Structures are given as C-alpha cells and as structure tokens.
Amino acid sequence: MESFWEKELKEHKEFEKIKNNLNVSVCIIGGGIMGLTTAYYLSKKVSVAVVEKDRLCSGTSGRTTGKITSQHGVFYNYLIESKGKEFAQKYLEANEQAISNIEKIIQETKGNCDFEREDSYVFTRQETLVDKIKKEQASIDKIEKDKSEFIKQIPLPLEIAGAVKFKNQAQFHPIKYAYTLAEKIMDNNGRIFENSKVEKIKRENGKYVVFVNRNKITADYVVIATRYPIVNVPGYHFLKMYQSTSYAIVADVKKELFDGMYINLEVPNISFRTIKDGDKRLLLAVGFDYKTGTDELRDGYQRLETVVRKMYPDAEVLYKWSAEDCISLDKIPYIGELSTIKPNMYLATGFNKWGMTSSNIAANIIADEILGNENKYKEVFKSTRLEPIKNRQEVGNMLKEVNKSLIVSRFKIPKSELKDVKIGEGKIINIDNRKIGVYKAQTGEIYKVKPYCTHLGCELHFNNVDKTWECPCHGSKFTYDGKSIEVPSNKDLKIK
Ligand code: FES
C-alpha cells in the first residue's frame, strides 16, 4: 500500500536505469536517505554512483515517521547503565549533530522539505511506569542539563501519568528531503540510477565490481545502504539483528491538531506526529510492531484506527501502510566497515526505528572513513563490535531450513487441498511431504510459490493483511506471487 510520503514520487521524473559500464570512486547500493546522504557528502569530493533497485526511498525511507530526534524512546538510562555516561553523552551529541546537519543541508540547498523544529515526548498512561520516565529524565539531565523536562500533561488529547519532553527536535517530509539531496548529488556530477538491481559484487584487481542489470560498476569503495545488508558473509549481520514491522495510518481528524511528536512507553508503542498536506494538517500514527514473519498483531491497521478514533471520533483514514526496520542486539546501529577482512566495503544498518538521525550519522562516519577524515563518533557505532548470537533456536532453525531440499517439483495441487484456502488468504499446504505456498486471489486465481526464503532458506509465513510472504528469520518479504520486496533477500521466490 502506498504511504502518504510516496505520493511525492509522482512529482519527480524517474532516474534512468543503468545502461553502460561505469568507473567511479564510490558505488552506493540503496537509494534511501542513508545512501543519498552519503552520496551527497562524498560527491563534493569524489565520483559516486547510487544504484537503487526500485524508485528512490521505496524501502523504509518512504514509510518512516519522518521524525528527526535524539529521543529514541526511553533510552539514555539504558545507555548509561550498559555503556557508561561518556558513551551515552557521545550518542546524544551525535544525534543532536545529525539534526543540525539535516537542517543545514536543507538551508544550504534551499530545499522545501516541510522541516519543522518541534519538541518530542515519551509519555506513559500507567502510574507504575512514571518512575521509569523520571529516571530517564534524570539520566538525560546527567548528560545534558536543560535538554529535557518531566511533565504531567502533554498537548495530545490524552490523559497521561507522566512524560519526558525533549526540546528542539525536528520533523520533515522524507521524500522531499531525498529529492533535495538527489538534486545536489546530480549538481556535483554524481550518478543516480533507479530500477537497477545489484546482482552480485566481486573483488577484482584491488577494486570492487558491482554487477547491475548486466552492467558493471567498478569502484574503489562500496557502501551498502540497503537497510539490511545484502552481503551475508563476512559481516554476519543476520546473526546480530532481526526485523520488525510497524503499521502506519494517516487520518484527517477534522479538528485542529497538536504541536510536537509523541511516543508512549508501554507496549504496544504508538507514535504520533502531524504532517502538512497543502493547507491542511493530518495525523500520522505508527505502531503495533511485530517481529516480521510471526503471527503477532496482524490487525494493526484496525487497532491503530481504534486508538485514533478514541482521540478524534470523526477521524477519516486516508492512508495505510507498513514499514520494516532492523533491530540490533544492543539497540545501537551498526555503522562502518562490513568486516575487518573486507577492505573498503562499508554499511549502516540496525537503525532500531530511529533512522532519520541515524542515517545522517552513518553518512558522516562512512564519508569520513572514505575521505580519510577523523570522526569522533565512529567507535560508538562500530559495526564490527562483537555481540552474542541473539537467539540460538532461531539460528538452529535457519540452518535446518538451509539444508532442506528446496526442490518442489512442478505438479498440480489437488482441488481438495485448496478448499480450506479462503479468498484473499495464503497458506502453506503439505502434499506428499512437500510444501507449497498458496495464495487465492479475489478472482479465485491460485498463485503457488516455493515457501522458502531466497536469503538463507527459512520457511515463510503469509501475512493475510498485507498479502505478503514474510520470513521469520531475518525479515525478507515477498509479494503473494513471489516478487522480492524487502531485503535481505534480493531474489524472487521460485514460482510453481
Ligand atoms: Fe534470512 Fe529469510 S531473511 S532466511
């Protein structure tokens, strides 16, 4: 489903597909905000090419909340306790710097990105959680005095028990910002290619050769900016992250809306902000996250609508979509080298749903690495830090699935096996010990796929709300007829 932001894509001409071989200093894979920001910084100094498999921002960047904030839920108390005060201070500083950097880029480029400075709030409606909110505020105070405030009321039409207010944060229109960056990259003689899918990356004679639509980009450096790395080994980031999907709705509430950006502390989290739509203000609500590929909270759109209607009974829902993001083990993004044994290849991933500031931090760290500049935040986000494997059972399942025969021979499914598959639903059926993924369209047509993920072979689940096949291991998604739509998998499912 198209997001509110994605309607902006219609205002822009598509960038060309790659048609020739190319030599550049840096090849950036992924045309979301992180990839474009990296290209923006680098294109001032060296030659760059950005390759995007679809349109710009067709992944998470086009479905984000567009909040640009250093307040990442209740986070600074956790950071001080687990990593120390100095670390937490640097994390905050890096994020505050990122907000200023984005503002500066918009001012310099005179971009129209609906950028607005707003306060940001984490609130709770439960008395039992007020202490946690107070502790968070006290932790922020230790790092930066006067940045935050504990309050008992907020401008949202909700009774709350307490909130921590983070001052002077920001919000914008992510796709308008992306095109501001793209324009500057082109002015700097950078190249941008849309509908250009990377097939493989090879190392040849001390350079990288990136194969895209049967053409080759030869580059000294490669930056993987695909939200989830498309390179599995080395790096092994698939053992250090999982993907989470959130639901989003945009509503016209037929009333005056509030200032500020909000998220609650209790689970499920729901985030609120307003967005400009011509002369109007609309409400964006995002939440009811679930681990991709599992059966939790599949009716998220309905639940969000119920929450919004309680606040604004006349609300009319105009847009619905879902968005995926990578959650790292320690809740800190992985930014920098892919691996110590793979020189000149960089990545940024694990943004934990706070991708707008994280992508600017990542772009600066990676551009500094490539240009040989020191960056004082690089150790905080170091991508090669060692953490324990997240979930042994998951790793076991994954290996089991990888070893499974992926061969399902072409045959007709007996009608009797299909009678339990309802219109608009998908499921896996077992025939002679072979599994087939089946989806029954509104027209009654049956689509059949091999229900194994083309990343590392895990068995897929069908999401009956979004009509997608989802992988519970690392969160790849495929359309009901098998087209790969979300990384890490880059290949379509085999169709039966
Ligand atoms: Fe890794 Fe599916 S996303 S096995």
Per residue in 3-19, pLDDT tens? Answer: 999 999 999 999 999 99
Mean pLDDT along residues 242-262: 96
Interatomic CA distance for residues 253 and 311, integer angstroms: 9
Residue 149 — very low, low, confident or very high, per pLDDT cuts 50/70/90?
A: very high
pLDDT at 411 over 50: no
Distance 68 CA to ligand 1 centre (A): 30
pLDDT tens across 420-430, in order?
788 889 999 98
Number of the ligand 1 atom closest to the C-alpha atom of 476:
3
Residue 406 — very low, low, confident or very high, per pLDDT cuts 50/70/90?
A: very low
- DSSP E strand boundaries for 366-405: none
* pLDDT for residue 395: 54
Interatomic CA distance for residues 455 and 457, integer angstroms: 6
Going by alpha carbons, the residue nearest to atom 3 of ligand 1 is: 474
Number of the ligand 1 atom closest to the C-alpha atom of 401:
4
Question: pLDDT over 90 for what percent of the chain?
Answer: 80
Distance 243 CA to ligand 1 centre (A): 10
Radius of gyration of the chain (CA): 23
Distance 410 CA to ligand 1 centre (A): 24
Mean pLDDT along residues 152-170: 97
* pLDDT for residue 408: 35
pLDDT tens across 459-483, in order?
999 998 889 999 999 999 999 999 9
pLDDT at 133 over 60: yes
Residue in 244, 326, 453 to alter for ligand 1 test, most ligand atoms within 8 A of Cβ: 453
Q: H or E stretch including 359?
A: helix 355-371
Instruction: Output the pTM of the full model.
Output: 0.89
Distance 476 CA to ligand 1 centre (A): 6
Pair 67, 61: CB distance under 8 Å: no
Mean pLDDT along residues 210-227: 96
* pLDDT for residue 387: 55
Residues with CB under 6 Å of ligand 1 are: 238, 453, 455-458, 471, 473-476, 488-489
Mean pLDDT along residues 96-124: 96
Number of the ligand 1 atom closest to the C-alpha atom of 238:
1
Distance 470 CA to ligand 1 centre (A): 9
Provide CB contacts within 8 A for 353, sequence distance 6+: 244, 246, 289, 325, 327
pLDDT tens across 25-71, in order?
999 999 999 999 999 999 999 999 999 999 999 999 999 999 999 99
pLDDT at 400 over 90: no
Pair 94, 236: CB distance under 8 Å: no
Residue in 228, 473, 484, 487 to alter for ligand 1 test, most ligand atoms within 8 A of Cβ: 473
What is the residue whose two structure tokens read 């016209």?
252
Mean pLDDT along residues 88-99: 98
Number of the ligand 1 atom closest to the C-alpha atom of 474:
3
Look over the chain and give the mean of its residue pLDDT values, rounded to a whole number: 92
Reference 2, options 468, 479, 321, 469; nearest CA is 321
pLDDT at 407 over 50: no
Distance 301 CA to ligand 1 centre (A): 25
Residue in 231, 294, 458 to alter for ligand 1 test, most ligand atoms within 8 A of Cβ: 458
DSSP assigned state of 489: -
Interatomic CA distance for residues 121 and 63, integer angstroms: 21
Mean pLDDT along residues 158-184: 97
Ramachandran assignment for 235, one of left (phi > 0), alpha (psi -120 to 50 degrees), beta (any other) = left
For 252, list phi and psi in degrees, rounded to 5: -90, 115
Number of the ligand 1 atom closest to the C-alpha atom of 458:
4
* pLDDT for residue 299: 83
Mean pLDDT along residues 101-123: 96
Amino acid at 210: V
Whole-angstrom distance between the N-terminal and C-terminal Cα of the chain? 25
Residue 297 — very low, low, confident or very high, per pLDDT cuts 50/70/90?
A: low
Q: Which residue has the higher pLDDT, 86 or 445?
A: 86
Collapsing DSSP to helix, strand or coil, 488 comes out as: coil
* pLDDT for residue 340: 87
Number of the ligand 1 atom closest to the C-alpha atom of 489:
3
* pLDDT for residue 465: 87
Residue in 449, 489, 491, 492 to alter for ligand 1 test, most ligand atoms within 8 A of Cβ: 489
Number of the ligand 1 atom closest to the C-alpha atom of 460:
2
* pLDDT for residue 490: 86
Weakest mean pLDDT among 205-209, 219-223, 413-417, 484-488: 413-417
Going by alpha carbons, the residue nearest to atom 4 of ligand 1 is: 456
* pLDDT for residue 409: 34
